[in-house]
Amino acid sequence: ILSGAKLTAPLGCLVSRQKHTLPDLPYDYGALEPHINAEIMQLHHSKHHATYVNNLNVTEEKYKEALAKGDVTAQVSLQPALKFNGGGHINHTIFWTNLSPNGGGEPKGELMEAIKRDFGSFANFKEKLTAVSVGVQGSGWGWLGYNKEQGRLQIAACANQDPLQGTTGLIPLLGIDVWEHAYYLQYKNVRPDYLKAIWNVINWENVSSRYSTSKK
Which residues are annotated as part of the binding site for Mn(2+)?
A: 44, 92, 177, 181
The binding site consists of: 44, 92, 177, 181
Q: Which residues contact 108 (CB under 8 A, 6 or more apart)?
A: 204, 208
| CB proximity list for 137: less than 8 A, separation 6 or greater | 159
Nearest to 87 by CA among 158, 16, 161: 161
Report which of 168, 180, 106, 170 is spatially closest to residue 139, judged by C-alpha positions.
180
Cis status, amide bond into 101, omega within 30 of 0: no
Task: Please give the DSSP secondary-structure letter assigned to residue 151.
Answer: T
